């Protein structure tokens, strides 16, 4: 979501090799502080995880060294299906999201189909929807018993059995894909945009038709982007917890994330087994990350990004323009519109009510009244908002300093900052939650069962995103803008405060809101870390769903979360486009007269 940037400050001809080095002593101290915080957040829980995995479960701290946890985990007859399910689920989601997202990216970036701004905004805004609530909504749509689409099809075609079953592997893949396809679009779009059309044109000029150019030139050029995108989506599928929990669990389709969580709630809790499973999952993720890095490593060889003044010519779809656009609107409507509509519909009725089916009982606001007066809900809102805001603020501030030092410091430690801050992207939130739990059960600093343990988890999970925003932003600030301040007599702190920070403000705002929303949605780690007084929105939603709250109340609870989140993200998007337009206009003028 990095739209806003000061175009005037961007120099396409930046000297790449001349990385600035600053020679002051203080950043070394700052650097060490950042490294220590990063190490603490990332490595301490992983160390706890390792210790738990390789020691006996004593219930109280770590016992003697042992392999028993692994033996126990791997000897279970559920292990093989577990691995199979996880891989099928993750690769299925990667492929489906990729196909949908790729098609949208191609239409938006490469063709003249109308509505590309709308699609882009929809994709950005849709990430505000918590996956847990979307999964619940899909159950209202496609469950064999209560799903209204099934009911409607049954009555329309006189079917005996429900045509769709959400409680299946396909159902799980579809549900997660409906959530992640905008992400796939956002990952692929920039690659398609950066592709130099002149390469395609060179193909056309040498006599190829577009349908030959696509497989012969376009796709090979995009290979690194395609591979890395697929791997990223695969990792995200492996890490996903919400869908396996609300759909996979009743369907008895176990994946790693749910198995890990299950082990910790056994009586007695099997922390050792949970850790052994976590390490296995982490291993798979790391292998995927390794291939991801390999796919992106040679990206420069495919350097397709050209400087200024290049205007991609779009493929004219002719009379297919509108049908293609309407098709994409249809995708958004089916994947996100239908479940959200269903959830909203249900929230106005106490008992199960299927839209478009027989006459509904009269609508009521009773569900909302109930939720808004429900003390646990109010507490959860307070906790969620407070902890998420704290974590977002902390993570954005920390990664800003980290990214700045990583770029400006000559120290050999600088790369470590980037590596540390990016590491959590490869660690599923369930593992972060579990390892933080194991660690702070043992480390007696009194965070267990308080909001601070949630804060630690959210801050850790937010690091990679904060780092991306901050370093993208800093990369766009021409080095001379900082040097000019230094020459003018500004101290490093003043350079950061008066030049870097204001220029980065749009990026930081976006980073803050992104990480804030991410934390409010968070379930996989929270579920390990909540205590009696520290419920968060995601966990109470899950509890209410699983412990049989009325359909209406659950739906109202969902809408009460989705609506504000959507508003926040849409508001940010609006602000961003405005800032963007303003600075664009300014620099365009500077350029035309200069």
Partner 1 sequence: MFAIENLHKSFLAAGAEVRAVDGISLEVETGKLITLLGPSGCGKTTTLRCLAGLERPQTGRIVIGNRTVFDSAKRVFVAASDRGIGMVFQSYAIWPHMSVFENVAFPLRVSRAKKYSAAEIRERVSRMLDLVQLTGFAWRPATQLSGGQQQRLAFARGLVHEPAILLLDEPLSNLDAKLREQMRLELKRLQRSLGITTVYVTHDQSEALALSDEIAVFDSGRIVQRGAPQDIYRQPNSRFVADFVGSANFLPGTVRGTQGNLTRVDTAHGLMHCIFAEPIDAGMRALVIARPEDILLFDGAAVGAPTDGLNALNGKIVNRVFLGEVVDYIVDLGDRELRARLRSDEFQIGQAVTLGLPPQKCVGLPG
Ligand X SMILES: Nc1ncnc2c1ncn2[C@@H]1O[C@H](COP(=O)(O)OP(=O)(O)OP(=O)(O)O)[C@@H](O)[C@H]1O
Euclidean distance between CA atoms 127 and 465, whole angstroms? 14
Please answer whether residues 353 and 360 qualify as being in contact, where contact means their C-beta atoms are separated by less than 8 angstroms: yes
Euclidean distance between CA atoms 356 and 161, whole angstroms? 19
The residues near 335 (Cβ < 8 Å, ≥ 6 apart) are: 100, 177, 178, 181
CA atoms within 13 A on the CB side of 291: 15
Return the number of other C-beta atoms located less than 10 Å from residue 43's C-beta. Answer: 12
The residues near 351 (Cβ < 8 Å, ≥ 6 apart) are: 361, 550, 551, 552
Q: Using CB distances below 5 to 8 A depending on partner kind, what does residue 594 bind out of partner 1, ligand X, none?
A: partner 1
Please answer whether residues 416 and 579 qualify as being in contact, where contact means their C-beta atoms are separated by less than 8 angstroms: no
Q: Using CB distances below 5 to 8 A depending on partner kind, what does residue 8 bind out of partner 1, ligand X, none?
A: partner 1
Return the number of other C-beta atoms located less than 10 Å from residue 151's C-beta. Answer: 18
Please answer whether residues 90 and 313 qualify as being in contact, where contact means their C-beta atoms are separated by less than 8 angstroms: no
Q: Which CB, 489 or 532, lies closer to partner 1?
A: 489
Q: Which CB, 211 or 412, lies closer to ligand X?
A: 412
| Beta carbon of residue 413, minimum distance to partner 1 (angstroms, whole number) | 18
Q: Which CB, 444 or 489, lies closer to partner 1?
A: 489
Q: Which CB, 18 or 23, lies closer to ligand X?
A: 18
Q: Using CB distances below 5 to 8 A depending on partner kind, what does residue 445 bind out of ligand X, partner 1, none?
A: none
Please answer whether residues 184 and 229 qualify as being in contact, where contact means their C-beta atoms are separated by less than 8 angstroms: yes
What secondary structure letter does DSSP report for 288? Answer: H
| Beta carbon of residue 17, minimum distance to ligand X (angstroms, whole number) | 5
Confirm or reject binding of residue 212 to partner 1 (CB under 8 A).
Answer: no
| Beta carbon of residue 227, minimum distance to ligand X (angstroms, whole number) | 32
| Beta carbon of residue 495, minimum distance to ligand X (angstroms, whole number) | 19
| Beta carbon of residue 18, minimum distance to ligand X (angstroms, whole number) | 4
Please, what is the angle between helix 414-422 and helix 451-475, to 10°? 120
Q: Using CB distances below 5 to 8 A depending on partner kind, what does residue 316 bind out of ligand X, partner 1, none?
A: none
Euclidean distance between CA atoms 384 and 68, whole angstroms? 38
Closest CA relative to residue 528, chosen from 410, 450, 436, 464:
436
Please answer whether residues 545 and 136 qualify as being in contact, where contact means their C-beta atoms are separated by less than 8 angstroms: yes
What secondary structure letter does DSSP report for 446? Answer: S
C-alpha separations of 2 from 102, 124, 541 in Å: 20, 10, 31
Interface stretch with partner 1, choices 2-10, 144-152, 228-236, 540-548 (CB under 8 A) = 2-10
| Beta carbon of residue 468, minimum distance to partner 1 (angstroms, whole number) | 22
Please, what is the angle between helix 429-442 and helix 451-475, to 10°? 130
Euclidean distance between CA atoms 43 and 443, whole angstroms? 14
Find how far residue 405's CA is from the centre of its chain: 25
Interface stretch with partner 1, choices 45-53, 156-164, 310-318, 477-485 (CB under 8 A) = 477-485
Closest CA relative to residue 286, chosen from 485, 390, 94, 422:
422
Q: Which CB, 22 or 370, lies closer to ligand X?
A: 22
Please answer whether residues 371 and 556 qualify as being in contact, where contact means their C-beta atoms are separated by less than 8 angstroms: yes
Q: Using CB distances below 5 to 8 A depending on partner kind, what does residue 484 bind out of partner 1, ligand X, none?
A: partner 1
Confirm or reject binding of residue 12 to partner 1 (CB under 8 A).
Answer: no
C-alpha separations of 180 from 29, 90, 100, 177, 215 in Å: 41, 12, 10, 5, 26
| Beta carbon of residue 477, minimum distance to ligand X (angstroms, whole number) | 18
| Beta carbon of residue 479, minimum distance to ligand X (angstroms, whole number) | 11
| Cα angle 300-304-308, degrees, rounded to a multiple of 5 | 120
Q: Nearest residue to ligand X, using CB? A: 18
Residue choice 329, 490, 566, 568 for contact with partner 1 (CB under 8 A) = 490
| Beta carbon of residue 418, minimum distance to partner 1 (angstroms, whole number) | 20
Confirm or reject binding of residue 29 to partner 1 (CB under 8 A).
Answer: no
Q: Using CB distances below 5 to 8 A depending on partner kind, what does residue 589 bind out of ligand X, partner 1, none?
A: partner 1
Confirm or reject binding of residue 412 to partner 1 (CB under 8 A).
Answer: no
Confirm or reject binding of residue 486 to partner 1 (CB under 8 A).
Answer: yes
Residue choice 71, 419, 484, 567 for contact with partner 1 (CB under 8 A) = 484
| Beta carbon of residue 476, minimum distance to partner 1 (angstroms, whole number) | 11
| Beta carbon of residue 248, minimum distance to partner 1 (angstroms, whole number) | 49
Interface stretch with partner 1, choices 105-113, 126-134, 192-200, 476-484 (CB under 8 A) = 476-484
Confirm or reject binding of residue 6 to partner 1 (CB under 8 A).
Answer: yes
**Cis peptide preceding 268, ω within 30 of 0:** yes
H helices, E strands: number in the chain? 26, 2
Q: Which CB, 13 or 487, lies closer to ligand X?
A: 13
Total of residues contacting partner 1 (CB under 8 A): 34
Interface stretch with partner 1, choices 85-93, 132-140, 493-501, 519-527 (CB under 8 A) = 493-501
Q: Write out the residues near ligand X by the rule CB under 6 A.
A: 17-18
Residue choice 12, 17, 161, 303 for contact with partner 1 (CB under 8 A) = 17
Confirm or reject binding of residue 503 to partner 1 (CB under 8 A).
Answer: yes
| Beta carbon of residue 97, minimum distance to ligand X (angstroms, whole number) | 42
Phi, psi of 488 (to 5 degrees): -70, -5
Q: Which CB, 18 or 252, lies closer to ligand X?
A: 18
Task: Give the footprint of partner 1 on this chain (CB under 8 A).
Answer: 6, 8-9, 11, 17, 20-21, 23-24, 478, 480-481, 483-491, 494, 498-499, 502-503, 505, 583, 586-587, 589-590, 593-594
């Amino acid at each position: 979501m990095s739209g806003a940037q000061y175009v005037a400050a961007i120099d396409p001809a930046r000297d790449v090799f001349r990385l600035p080095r600053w020679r002051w002593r203080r950043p070394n101290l700052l650097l060490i502080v950042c490294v220590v915080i990063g190490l603490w957040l990332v490595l301490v829980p992983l160390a706890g995880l390792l210790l738990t995995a390789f020691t006996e479960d004593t219930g109280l701290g770590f016992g003697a060294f042992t392999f028993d946890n692994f033996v126990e985990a791997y000897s279970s007859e559920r292990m093989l299906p577990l691995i199979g399910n996880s891989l099928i689920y993750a690769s299925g989601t990667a492929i489906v999201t990729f196909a949908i997202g790729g098609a949208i990216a191609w239409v938006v970036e490469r063709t003249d189909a109308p509505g590309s701004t709308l699609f882009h905004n929809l994709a950005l805004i849709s990430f505000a929807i918590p996956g847990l609530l979307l999964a619940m909504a899909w159950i209202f749509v496609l469950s064999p018993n209560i799903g209204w689409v099934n009911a409607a099809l049954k009555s329309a075609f006189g079917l005996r059995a429900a045509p769709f079953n959400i409680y299946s592997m396909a159902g799980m893949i579809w549900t997660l894909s409906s959530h992640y396809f905008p992400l796939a679009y956002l990952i692929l779009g920039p690659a398609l945009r950066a592709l130099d059309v002149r390469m395609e044109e060179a193909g056309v000029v040498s006599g190829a038709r577009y349908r030959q150019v696509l497989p012969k030139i376009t796709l090979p050029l995009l290979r690194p982007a395609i591979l890395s995108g697929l791997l990223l989506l695969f990792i995200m599928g492996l890490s996903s917890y919400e869908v396996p929990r609300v759909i996979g669990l009743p369907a008895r389709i176990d994946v790693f994330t749910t198995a890990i969580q299950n082990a910790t709630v056994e009586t007695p809790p099997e922390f050792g087994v949970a850790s052994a499973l976590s390490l296995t999952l982490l291993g798979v993720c790391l292998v995927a990350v390794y291939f991801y890095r390999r796919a992106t490593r040679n990206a420069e060889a495919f350097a397709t990004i050209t400087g200024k003044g290049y205007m991609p010519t779009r493929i004219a779809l002719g009379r297919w323009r509108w049908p293609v656009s309407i098709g994409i609107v249809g995708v958004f409507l089916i994947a996100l519109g239908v479940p959200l509509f269903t959830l909203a519909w249900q929230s106005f009725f106490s008992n199960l009510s299927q839209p478009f089916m027989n006459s509904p009982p009269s609508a009521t606001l009773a569900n909302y009244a109930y939720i808004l007066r429900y003390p646990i809900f109010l507490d959860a809102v307070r906790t969620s908002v407070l902890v998420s805001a704290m974590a977002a603020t902390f993570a954005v501030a920390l990664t800003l300093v980290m990214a700045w030092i990583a770029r400006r410091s000559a120290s050999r430690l600088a790369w470590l900052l980037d590596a540390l801050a990016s590491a959590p992207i490869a660690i599923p939130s369930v593992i972060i939650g579990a390892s933080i739990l194991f660690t702070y059960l043992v480390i007696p600093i009194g965070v267990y069962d308080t909001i601070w343990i949630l804060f630690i988890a959210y801050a850790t999970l937010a690091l990679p995103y904060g780092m991306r925003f901050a370093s993208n932003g800093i990369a766009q600030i021409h080095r001379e803008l900082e040097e000019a301040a230094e020459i003018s007599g500004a101290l490093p702190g003043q350079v950061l405060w008066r030049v870097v920070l204001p220029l980065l403000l749009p990026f930081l705002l976006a980073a803050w809101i992104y990480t804030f929303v991410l934390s409010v949605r968070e379930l996989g780690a929270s579920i390990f870390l909540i205590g009696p007084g520290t419920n968060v929105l995601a966990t109470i939603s899950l509890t209410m769903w699983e412990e049989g709250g009325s359909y209406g109340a659950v739906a109202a609870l969902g809408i009460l979360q989705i609506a504000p989140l959507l508003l926040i993200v849409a508001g940010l998007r609006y602000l961003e486009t405005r800032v963007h337009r303003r600075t664009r206009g300014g620099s365009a003028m500077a350029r035309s007269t200069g």
